[in-house]
Amino acid sequence: MKIVHTVSSLEEEASGPTYSVPRLCRSLAQIGCSVDILSLSSQEAVVEEGEYRDIRIQRPFAAGTTLARLGVSRKMKNILVRSEGDVFHTHGLWMMPNVYPATAAIETRKPFVLAPRGMLGREALQFSKLRKQAFWTLLQGRAARRVTCFHATAMQEYDDIRAFGLTQPVAVIPNGVDLPMLAADSSREENSSPFVLSLGRVHPKKGLDRLIRAWALVEPEFQEWRLKIVGPSEIGHAEALKKLVRELNLDTVEISGPVFGDEKIALLAEAELFALSTLHENFGMTVAESLAVETPVISTKGAPWQGLTDECCGWWVEHGPDHMALALKEAMSLTSTERRTMGARGRAWMERDFGWEGIARRMADVYAWALGQKPKPDCIMTD
């Protein structure tokens, strides 16, 4: 079975799909599928690893132009049509790499799977609203009507798909997470300046202004603590947050640029707590990555992480500074050992339910069902 995946880009390292989509594809290849993944890139490249091919197609138009922003690429379209794929699976919306697979599926009469990747959330739809409405009317809507099955990474995203009026079957399959090796002598007890970490894109949809306002409510009681906001700034949002920090006279908030790879994992492991203040996420990879290194998490209900409370490894709170401040106060009042115990439960949960091999097998069952080769898997919802 050959599966062809598309995603608009894999160059933004702070973006969740940059990790989760290739990792899913590699896992599918490891269980015996043949997998191509196509994306637009600043440079042409093809990486082959057994049954897995990562094809980067150079963008044909200058950055900043309308055609570049839409991801127009005749070469990608032609590769898809000639790919001899059995199933086409696209990740994301609002760009041509998310439309071309529908065209290929129609021409080859093959199944088409679409993963919105959080882009149908109510808050997400408000950004560039008019552009998205026009793109839906002209292009994306036609592609969505061709979908055989949607792929949601959580029940919250399933609800978003239904709220948008889309009625096709939905496979609810989460992202997976790799479990890094933990240092045998790691100890947060010796940390002279314990800190809460928020790591990811610095964008208005992440609700970081609310996190800073929550911090202002707890800082007087926890003056030895620090809040670290780490990630790439988008549309100048980091400067807006720094201005807010100055206005609130906060001395314990640091806002800095992105970190990646081992440095990122080390920072997640050093944090006493991870805070996700997002307005909306379809999954929230940083939550899984934090739990994987035994760091407990406070997340708003904008992300689908009720399991934080069910598994006793964090807090799942309503939106707003007051709710976040209450959770911060409770978490920061615990001992480091108590927080580490919570984190250990979180890592065990990740190992049990979010291993990549099991996720790849569930996804392969969805493909086989779409091809008429297997009965409908339990993960597919049709109501």
Instruction: Give the least confident one: 154-168, 176-190, 211-225.
Output: 176-190
pLDDT at 64: 86
Q: What is the pLDDT of residues 36-61, one digit of tens each?
A: 999 999 999 999 999 999 999 999 99
- β partners of residue 253: 227
The arithmetic mean of pLDDT across residues 286-305, rounded, is 96
What is the extent of the structural domain holding 16? 2-176+355-381
Q: Does the structure show a pLDDT above 60 at 186?
A: no
| Co-location of 49 and 152 in the same domain | yes
How far apart, in whole angstroms, are the C-alpha atoms of residue 144 and residue 141?
Answer: 5
pTM: 0.86
Pick from 33, 39, 23, 46: which is nearest to 86 by CA?
33
Mention every residue, 6+ apart, whose C-beta is less than 8 A from residue 243: none
Residue-level length of the chain: 383
How far apart, in whole angstroms, are the C-alpha atoms of residue 15 and residue 152?
Answer: 17
The total of structural domains in the chain comes to 2
| Co-location of 218 and 312 in the same domain | yes
pLDDT at 340: 95
Q: What are phi and psi of 43, to 5 degrees?
A: -140, 145
| Co-location of 133 and 203 in the same domain | no
| Co-location of 111 and 26 in the same domain | yes
| Co-location of 140 and 277 in the same domain | no
| Co-location of 31 and 82 in the same domain | yes
Please report where in the chains the tokens 């379809």 appear, as a residue.
Answer: 282
Q: What is the pLDDT of residues 141-175, one digit of tens each?
A: 999 999 999 999 999 999 999 999 999 999 999 99
Q: Report if residue 127 sits inside a domain.
A: yes
Q: Report if residue 190 sits inside a domain.
A: no
Q: What is the pLDDT of residues 61-117, one digit of tens each?
A: 988 899 999 999 999 999 999 999 999 999 999 999 999 999 999 999 999 999 999
Q: Report if residue 187 sits inside a domain.
A: no
| Co-location of 220 and 321 in the same domain | yes
Hey, what long-range contacts does 131-137 have (CB within 8 A, 24 or more apart)?
131/94, 132/93, 132/94, 135/70, 135/94
Q: Report if residue 253 sits inside a domain.
A: yes
The type of residue at 216 is A
pLDDT at 75: 97
| Co-location of 150 and 163 in the same domain | yes
Q: Report if residue 172 sits inside a domain.
A: yes
Q: Report if residue 320 sits inside a domain.
A: yes
pLDDT at 15: 82
| Co-location of 347 and 370 in the same domain | no
Q: Does the structure show a pLDDT above 80 at 188?
A: no
The arithmetic mean of pLDDT across residues 228-233, rounded, is 96
- pLDDT category at 131 given cuts 50, 70, 90 is very high
| Co-location of 162 and 246 in the same domain | no
How far apart, in whole angstroms, are the C-alpha atoms of residue 255 and residue 315?
Answer: 23
The CATH number of whichever domain residue 126 belongs to comes to 3.40.50.2000
| Co-location of 303 and 313 in the same domain | yes
| Co-location of 112 and 203 in the same domain | no
Q: Report if residue 182 sits inside a domain.
A: no
Q: Report if residue 32 sits inside a domain.
A: yes
* DSSP summary character for residue 117: T
